[in-house]
Amino acid sequence: MPNLLPNWTLTLPWDLGDFNTREAGRLIWSTVLLIIGIAIVVALMKQPKIKRPFSTKVGVALFPAIIVGTLLLAKFVPSFQRTIILLGFVVLVAHMFLMIASRTPRDPEEPATWAECFAGAVGVFALMALGYAIVPSEFLTFTNASLEWGDSSKFVVQSGQQIFGVLPVDWPFSFDYPALRDLGVALIYGVLLVLNLKFLVMWQNRHQVAAAADDDAPPKRSRFGRPLRKIAPEAPAPTPAPVTASATANPEGA
């Protein structure tokens, strides 16, 4: 199996090092898996909008078929092995999102099964492990080993140095490479924490349906995914006619 990433090297500005895609392979793949996992959570919070072009059994059977077909095709066409495997991975992910977007709407009042709870717990644990453990760890490993940001003798800016080399004011502090590395890890944790809290709120409110603002607004959908119908207000009951004195008079006295 060849390395799926191309051997590209990007020289970072300000003498920050050379970014090589193969040396950053584990960081790149863990980040890709984290992004796919977050996209799955967002897709599960949305109501299904498209109709599945095949049955559920066929859709489930296509998962191993895509994997086996990709591996066999890559084995028999070795000159395009990397391209075939990458395309197979893209097709597999696209098929997964198609299955999620065309799923049957679920009644929120229906209790979850043990298997669904177990699968959800495993998925949440995987996202937590990727976001809060693997991605930051791979970032630290890559920046220390490949970019050499662990060297405290190298500075991004140094005290006494002119700001950007043109302003007549000097930097009042020194900012070395280890501080830049730690700032990057803190930024990763901060972004993931904000997304984590946001998704918790969105998941709890995923079945709430907002009322239409006016008659011209597009129809809203129920928690089952069906369009909501407007019920016309009932007409008021007719007011009985008042009884007059002539109508109640005794006809024999006329």
Instruction: Dump pLDDT digits (tens) for 197-222.
Output: 999 898 888 777 654 445 555 555 55
Q: Tally DSSP H helices, then E strands, for the chain.
A: 7, 4
Average pLDDT over residues 19-43: 93
Average pLDDT over residues 154-160: 76
Q: How far, in Å, are 104, 112, 146, 147, 174 from residue 178 at the CA level?
A: 50, 47, 13, 11, 11
170: confidence class by pLDDT, cuts 50, 70, 90: confident
Helix (H) or strand (E) holding 104: none
The 10s digit of each residue's pLDDT in 76-102 is 988 888 999 999 999 999 999 999 998
100 contacts: CB under 8 Å, gap ≥ 6 = 40, 43, 44
DSSP string covering 216-229, please?
TSPPPB-TTSPBPP
Residue 84's CB: how many other CB atoms inside 10 A?
20
Measured distance CA(3)–CA(22) in Å, rounded: 8
The tokens for 147 are: 């970019």
Please check whether residue 40 is in contact with residue 101, taking contact to mean a CB–CB distance below 8 angstroms: no
The tokens for 194 are: 């904000």
Whether 12 shows a pLDDT value over 90: the answer reads no
**How much is the pTM?**
0.75
Measured distance CA(208)–CA(197) in Å, rounded: 18
Mean pLDDT of all residues belonging to the chain: 82
The 10s digit of each residue's pLDDT in 100-130 is 998 888 777 888 889 988 999 999 999 999 9
